[in-house]
Each structure stands twice: as C-alpha cells, then as structure tokens.
A = this chain, B = another copy of it.
C-alpha cells in the first residue's frame, strides 16, 4: 500500500445533527484518507431482532465514495443490544461477582450460544452489505476482545472437557497441577469443582490460558465468517490492546497502554489475521516520551515482520493529554518511524453522549477547528510526503525482548512485590532499551524464533517449557548472547516450581545457582540500592560482576557473566535501577557485537533499510532543543537538505528530522 493510512474512527450514529459533508471536508483538509466505522454500534445496526438498518453505514459509504475516503468496517459485536439481553440474559457474562448487568460494553460471554448465533447473523448481514463496496479496504473483527472475567458454567464445562482431553486421568492432572495441596485433588472427573475461586495457581493459570484461547477462537471464528464475504484485496485485522494504566488522578482504570495484555494472546490472535492492528494511548504534555508508541511498534511489527495498523490513538483524549504544540506531529512521525503503515485517531469528534464524554477526539464538542486539529492538518501533509519514501524499506532488529503470557499470569499469582508485577519488570527492560536507542523486537517465547537475533533479553521469564530452555541453550551455544535474571526459569509450564537447582534447566548456561532469596533492605550493588527482591547467587562457572553490599549477604553475587558454547550469558539476580540495568545491557551489547549509539533519550533514533540505503528518523522528545550529529553524509528526506558526517542538527522542542544514508550498515 503506497499511502500511509491516516484517519479516524467516525460514528455517524452518535452525531447530534447531520455533520457528514462538513466533517468530510474537514477530514480531507487534514489529509485523512481513511475512516473506521461500525464497531460497537449493534443497537443501531439491528435495532430489533433480525431487523437491520443500514442508514448510517450507507451514509458513510456514500460520503466515502464522494470524497475518495477508504473505509475499514468493524463488526459491531463488542457491545450487545438490550433486545438480545432480554431474549436471553445468559448472554451477559458471569464472573466472580455474579452475572454482569446490562449497560456496559464488553459485558458478554463470548462462548454463549445465543450471543454467537446473533453475532453471526449480524456479521453476515453487515459483510453481505458492505464487502462489495469499492472504498472498503478491510475489516476489523470485534474490538479489544478479552474474556471479561468469565467464570460462567458454560466456559467451566468447556474447561473441564479440555482438561479431560489433556490429562485423561484425574491423577495425571492432580500430579501436573499439584492439586493435593489443601485437599484439592480429585479422584473422579465428576468431582471436578467450580474453579471460580480456585486457589491453586497452576489450575488458576491453566484456566486463564484456556480463556485466552477462547478469545483467540472467538476472533478466528469471526475471521472465518468474514472470509466468506470479503474480496481478495481486503484485509482482516483486529484492534489488539495492552494492559491499561490509569492516567491522571481520575481513578479510572484505563487511559494509557502499558505492558502486555494478560487477557488475550497477541501471538495466537495475530496468526489468524492478515494485518496486525493495535491501540496506542500514551502519556503526553511534559510526560510525552514516545515509549508506548515504540513498544507497540516493537511488538506489532515483529508479530508478522511487516507493517501494522495503529487503529486507535489519541488526538486530545484527557485533560492530561491535550498535546503541547508540536506533539501531534511528533506523534504521527513516531508511529511511522516505529513501523506503522497507518494511524487512526479515536475518534473524529468528542462524544456528547454520557459515556467516554471526556475521551476527546480530534474535534471538541463544538466541532470547530482547534489547535490540535490544525496541527493534525500539518501532520497529514507531512505523512503524505513521507509515505512514498518508505517503500521498500524494512525494519530488521538484532535484539529481542522475550515476552510470555504464562509468566505474566503466573506472576499475578506470585507477585515479586506489590509494586513489581511482570509488566513493571518488562516495561523497565523495554524502557532501558528504548532510551539507549537499541531497537528491539518483542518476541513471544513460545515462538522459539531466537536465531535471527544477536542478543536476547529474557526478564522475569518465570515459567518455561523445556523446548524454550532447549532453544535458548542452543542459541547461546551457537554464539548468541542471553541476558536474564531474577524470577526466570523457576517453574514448568504448569506453574509448578522446579525441584531442580535454579535457574531450572539453565544453571549451566548461566553458570550460577541459588536457593534463597530475600527482600533487600540496606543493600546496595556497586553503590546503588537494590530494590524489591534479590536472589542470593552462587556462581559456578560464571564470573561475578558485582556482589551485594550488606553485612550478611555480601558473600553472594548480585550479577554474573558466563561463557557458554560460542556465546555468553548474563544473569542479574536482583531488580536493578534503570541506569544500572543499562550498564548490564551495554556489556551484553558489546558481547553481541552490536555497537551502542552515543545518543540517548530524549533523542530517539529509529532506522530501517532497503538493503542498500538506510532511513533514519531522529526525534526530540523534550521541551528543550537537542543537538544531533549526523552519522555520515546523509540527505534530509523531508527537507531536501544534504548533511555532512558529524554535522550538527539542532532539533527544536518535539522536533524531528528524517535522514537517508547511502550505506545501509
């Protein structure tokens, strides 16, 4: 696709009066070329059972045709209409606190037969109606799908069936999950109990994994339905999301994308899509670092090793995120630099209705031009110029950061510290790399896709299958560099702690063992406080980098380096502060033969190559001007300037430059 897809979600359904003509003109002025419509509007699409009303969709398709706008159609299934609940209240999900009540979105049981039956009818009607339209370029199945805390009878029966298939005998299950503890073992499948209040983490994590699989299956099922209707040239995507962190002092549960999503398996879901799509909501104003944008790029691009869609990102959103001048443009450039092939705001206009009213869009409630809109117009023009330049360039990272949904879930059950969950560790590692300008892929451990990398970081990889340890061992043997640390290689995939010496199955690779761990109190490592947690390491073949500094724990190593096969490994037994973590990463980069750039955040550098040439985005994520020295002779892609090696470019606040180097390495 030549053009960068630039646009917004548009909901004619929610408009207080007819805005289509005026909005289309304003969107064109902003350089928009795509709108995303129809997701979550089931009650207007099908106001009564089997009565369909395509008014809003037809209005949008006509306008799109008239204004040459591409359209992505979302299936409406993530918010159920009231008539469906009246028809069968079991459509509403049953969770630990009972059955959900009507009102919210994402409150349904995605395995419920009634829900699935009516969802299928609606999808078929919608696809039949829209798939043939020339402006429709693709489909989004559902939206931000999760399992919504489902502990209902239906999914429990499915889970039990799955366990029977998996284990055949209850004894095998008892053993694998360690159910004897506190009398949880069962001798007859008929005794298999309600698991809504399960206390055994192995069984609990298995139930969570099973429900993530239900999400994957549900989306695959929608995908198969869509395939029956769609044209060859139309894509199928889904809007993946991340863990949500609250923004500002609202006490709301969402607002910022941060860390892995524990209720959906991005890796499995993406396998069934033709195009990966994602939500990116990020900090702004003086907290705008770009890290969330980069994180999404590191994961989404790596999922298919191809560009992806940012299906939702903020225009104004909250009080805390109305962009400073310059930030809207930098946001657009940063997404392109991170590997996105498109970026859509959520949403075009701010909602007048009484929900998400202050998750503001491109336009405020008064529909007038505003400073954010006007800067978005500039961003649109910039992206239009930029898009053709990117053709043929690919991102190719040498560093991987290993992710794992089972480790994430297991460490919810066994948090290292109240303030140090899996995502805290994972994001800390990512942030260190990001700030060091080490571009990386976020790779799921179960993909076993290790050999393409020179350095792999595996933080908090708590639970592992043997195929993962085997693959990692082989990777190091063959010359790879591996950096891992505390709470990694502890349990098997069933979340039973290994009775082998820890790190289990990898203590030869790391050349280190431990069997005690403590909460650091008055402990430093090379003068820097150790925080949250520390393992008392005893090196075998490894060489200690640092020992703990403490009256009693000073005989134990804090961090070690080991040679293994043709490669090298690092084991960090505690949670280092970010600055110290960067020092370890720098050592590992050197071992991996990867040159570390001198520039660090707030100067962020992202590159891609086409085999011959190299494109380099240089971005300033700060309120102060920043100077950058050009690596070699380079052309300014958006500026038609030519720069000499070491020439200094001063980037203004939130400024950027895009350079093209002749030599790709």
Which residues of chain A have a CB within 8 Å of any CB of chain B?
A: 13-14, 16-17, 40-44, 47-48, 51, 76, 79-83, 85-86, 100-105, 177-188, 190-205, 248-251, 285-286, 316, 318-320, 322, 324-325, 350-358, 364-368, 370-372, 413-415, 417-419, 495-502, 515-519, 521-522, 533, 551-552, 623
Contact = CB atoms under 8 A, between A and B. Distances in A.
Nearest to A13: B180
Nearest to A371: B516
Contact of A185 (B43, B250, B551): B43
B285 A183 contact: no
A235 B95 CA distance: 47
B43 A552 contact: no
A86 B193 contact: yes
10 nearest A-B pairs in the assembled complex, by CB-CB distance = A178-B353, A201-B354, A101-B197, A43-B183, A364-B515, A47-B187, A79-B183, A102-B193, A319-B519, A181-B353
B365 A498 contact: yes
B500 A366 contact: yes
A104 B183 contact: no
A250 B14 CA distance: 45
Number of copies: 3
B103 A199 contact: yes
Contact of A518 (B85, B285, B350): B285
B44 A185 contact: yes
Nearest to A198: B103
Given A83-B187, A102-B197, A552-B325, A356 B518 contact: no
Contact of A193 (B42, B103, B186): B103
Nearest to A76: B183
15 contacts: A14-B178, A40-B183, A43-B179, A44-B180, A47-B186, A103-B193, A178-B352, A203-B354, A250-B417, A322-B517, A322-B518, A351-B497, A364-B515, A366-B499, A368-B501
Contact of A372 (B417, B418, B516): B516
A48 B193 contact: no
Contacts of A358: 414
B181 A368 contact: no
Contacts of A48: 187-188, 191
A105 B42 contact: no
Given A44-B185, A47-B187, A319-B518, 4 more contacts: A43-B185, A47-B186, A201-B357, A365-B502
Given A85-B193, A186-B43, A188-B48, A180 B357 contact: no
Contacts of A352: 178, 496-499
A429 to B, nearest CB: 21
